[in-house]
Chains A and B, each alone.
Chain A
Amino acid sequence: AQKITQTQPGMFVQEKEAVTLDCTYDTSDPSYGLFWYKQPSSGEMIFLIYQGSYDQQNATEGRYSLNFQKARKSANLVISASQLGDSAMYFCAMRGRLKAAGNKLTFGGGTRVLVKP
């Protein structure tokens, strides 16, 4: 079974500062993928970044970077130079690669980020 844990239910960040959102995971799959999604108050889920378990380098996408520490089973999201529009819920998710996993995503409980001007 897969499990995703996000220990920060909510956090404030000052505009233009960086913020780190924690995500730890547990899985027995030898190969897996880790994702971060953003959910604004309007409800849509916006894909931000992906990290494969065998990727040698940490993923980066613009202001988003993923601090992947495989031995610690953590995949923290770093948002640099926060903007007011970054205020949203952020979900960490995992997808196993085994056929039995069925390409399903398992989500963490989410972290609400509020960016202060």
Chain B
Amino acid sequence: GAVVSQHPSRVICKSGTSVKIECRSLDFQATTMFWYRQFPKQSLMLMATSNEGSKATYEQGVEKDKFLINHASLTLSTLTVTSAHPEDSSFYICSARVVGGPQHFGDGTRLSIL
């Protein structure tokens, strides 16, 4: 089946650091990937849609300059949290959709900013 790999699974870093999270589709090509954020005991909130070869589409209220998305190839999208602060601590999870199929998710990244 379709496999999405997300790395790293856990990050702990100091305030002010920029953190990059990678999302790879391992056995299929994904022109579109999605980035979600999930707070404890809450549902997933879509942050942005990552489009291969073009700019990401951000949801309302998501800061583009804060959450940089790059989708340089058909199998890789990256999310960079720039100058991270404690309020950015959260669970970030990506997904990619197989054409004609469901979205498959990575295992998520737990980000903790001290």
Q: Known contacts A43-B108, A45-B105, A105-B103: does B43 contact A91 (CB below 8 Å)?
A: yes
Of chain A, the residue at the smallest CB distance from B32 is A103
Specify which chain B residues have a CB less than 8 angstroms from the CB of A108 in the assembled complex: 43
Of B20-28, B67-75, B79-87, B90-98, which binds chain A? B90-98
B43 touching A107, Cβ below 8 Å: yes
Q: Check B105 against A35 for contact (C-beta < 8 Å).
A: no
Q: Is A110 an interface residue (CB 8 A)?
A: yes
Contacts A103-B32, A104-B34, A105-B103; is A45 near B43 (CB within 8 Å)?
no
Q: A91-B43, A91-B44 are in contact. Are A103 and B95 (CB under 8 A)?
A: no
Q: A44-B105, A47-B104, A50-B102 are in contact. Are A104 and B49 (CB under 8 A)?
A: yes
**A-B CB contacts (within 8 Å), total count:** 48
Identity of the chain B residue whose Cβ is nearest the Cβ of A6 in the assembled complex: B43
Q: Across the two chains, which residue of chain A brings its CB closest to B51?
A: A102
Q: Which residues of A contact B107 (CB under 8 A)?
A: 42-44
Residues of B within 8 A of A105 (CB): 34, 44, 46, 95, 103
Q: Is B110 interfacial (CB 8 A cutoff)? A: yes
Known A-B contacts A104-B34, A105-B46, A107-B44; the reply to A43 vs B57 at CB < 8 A is no
| Nearest-Cβ distance from residue B65 to partner chain A, whole angstroms | 22
Binary interface encoding of chain A residues 29-58 relative to chain B, with 1 for a CB under 8 A from any of its CBs, else 0? 000000101000011111100100000000
A44 surroundings in chain B (CB, below 8 A): 105-108
Interface pair B43/A110, CB less than 8 Å apart: yes
Does chain A have a CB within 8 A of B42? yes
CB distance from A49 to the nearest CB of B (A): 9
Cβ–Cβ contact B46 & A104, under 8 A: yes
Across chains A and B, which 3 residue pairs bring their CB atoms closest together, nearest first? A45-B105, A43-B108, A44-B107
Which residues does B use to contact A, with CB under 8 Å? 32, 34, 42-44, 46, 49, 57, 91, 93, 95, 97, 102-108, 110
